[in-house]
Amino acid sequence: MLPLALFAGPVEVGQPLPALTLKDQHDKAWQIEADTKLVLFAAGRKASNLALAVLSTQPKDFLPQRHSVYLADLSRMPGFVTRTFALPSLREQPFRVGVSLDERVLADWPAQSDAVLLIDLEQGKVSRIRSAATEAELRAALGLQP
């Protein structure tokens, strides 16, 4: 059983972003640093595919340069699919991905299976929550050319 400290609380505008204790796609410790300005959160296959379609075409340092991180909730995926397909695919990416495999960890986070949630942060507090459901919307939210 996981300690309660590992479960993130709700994400609410005006409140500090709940601390997370996760691993990345390479099984290394991963966390959201204090200077992070944007969290891209994918809670479903379609959202994850959308994020990867946009992020995989960017330079390796794209997310760190923008003080941004990518978090993928893979907890709803069957374990076999996660181990055989999802994680190996994520390991091929040139950027780090925070990975949640336990559905309880992010249970209180807002989630859309078909859109990437963009959680804007100012000094560790949530300043805005928005979503991008298409590549064009996500590219625009990240300040990229169409």
* pTM for the predicted model, two decimal places: 0.90
Res 130: pLDDT: 97
Res 76: pLDDT: 85
pLDDT exceeds cutoff 50 at 2: no
- Residues 114-136 have a mean pLDDT of 96
Mean pLDDT, rounded, of the chain: 90
CATH homologous superfamily of 35-141? Glutaredoxin (3.40.30.10)
- What are the sequence ranges of the domains in the chain? 35-141
What's phi and psi for 54, nearest 5 deg? Answer: -85, -50
pLDDT in tens, 58-105: 999 999 999 999 999 999 887 878 888 888 999 999 999 999 998 889
Q: Are 116 and 78 in contact (CB under 8 A)?
A: no
- Residues 47-60 have a mean pLDDT of 95
> CB neighbours of 32 closer than 8 A, spacing ≥ 6?
17, 19, 20, 39, 69, 71, 98
pLDDT exceeds cutoff 80 at 51: yes
Look at strands 116-122 and 38-42 and give their pairing. Answer: antiparallel
